Amino acid sequence: MEKNHLSAHSLKAVQSIVSAIDRRLIDGYPLVVSLDGGSGAGKSTLAAEVALQLDAAVIHCDDFFDAAVPDKDWDTYSLEQKCRRCIDWDRLYNEALLPLLEGREAQYRPYYSVSSVNGSASHLVTIEPSKVIILDGIYSSLLELSDVNHLTVLVDVPSELRRHRHNTREGNDDLDWHLRWDPAEDYYFTVLRPSGTFDLIVINH
């Protein structure tokens, strides 16, 4: 994405992230960065620009949405269960993160829809190894990943703006999604990963 497509806040956020990464890089060892934030925060936009500047590898956490859980079953889960189960972290680690950490190419089939075979698309995503690996997605700073996560970044955006961006992206009000996932996101950033637990907070509005 070209820089002139980014707002002043976004450009400042990108430079803050790049600077934080540069300070932590160690020769010969990949640096894992979690780019976290609520839906509609603009995480993927920032991840793309950071990747462009640093030639970083980007893993989109949404590609590993746990399609084994039907929509109706999500509504029976507690807020914490939703946060921890939403992404299939074992598959993300084994199919994407581990190969990249070992300096190998990663290949996986991304989530497509619950109606497809195993919820996965027919095409493969290929990611080349890099000295910087970005985990792009909400819940990417869960403590379960703390042993491999070197930098946790919160993309901070007012909830009203995030919701507007989310709905614009989806092309509708997405009410069922908001009813199911908004409370889980609020719980995550209040109980599991409050803003004060992140290494870096950037503004993106």
Domain map (residue ranges) of the chain: 3-203
* Other beta carbons within 10 Å of 14: 23
CA dihedral (74, 79, 81, 84) positive or negative: positive
Instruction: Examine the pLDDT at 118 and tell me if it is beyond 80.
Output: no
Give the position of tokens 């290929």.
Answer: 126
* Other beta carbons within 10 Å of 6: 19
Least confident span in 58-62, 123-127, 132-136, 140-144: 140-144
DSSP string, 5-21: GS-HHHHHHHHHHHHHH
Query: 3-class DSSP state for residue 33?
Result: strand
- If you average pLDDT over residues 6-13, what whole number do you get? 94
- If you average pLDDT over residues 24-40, what whole number do you get? 94
Q: Which two tokens stand for residue 29?
A: 């060892």
- CA torsion 31→34→35→39, rounded to 10°? 160
pLDDT at res. 73: 92
Tell me if 137 sits within 8 A of 25, measured CB to CB.
no
CATH of 3-203, one of 3.30.470.20, 3.20.20.80, 3.40.50.720, 3.40.50.300: 3.40.50.300
Q: What is the pLDDT of residues 138-182, one digit of tens each?
A: 999 997 788 899 999 999 998 888 888 888 988 888 888 888 999
182 phi and psi, to 5 degrees? -60, -45
Query: 3-class DSSP state for residue 46?
Result: helix
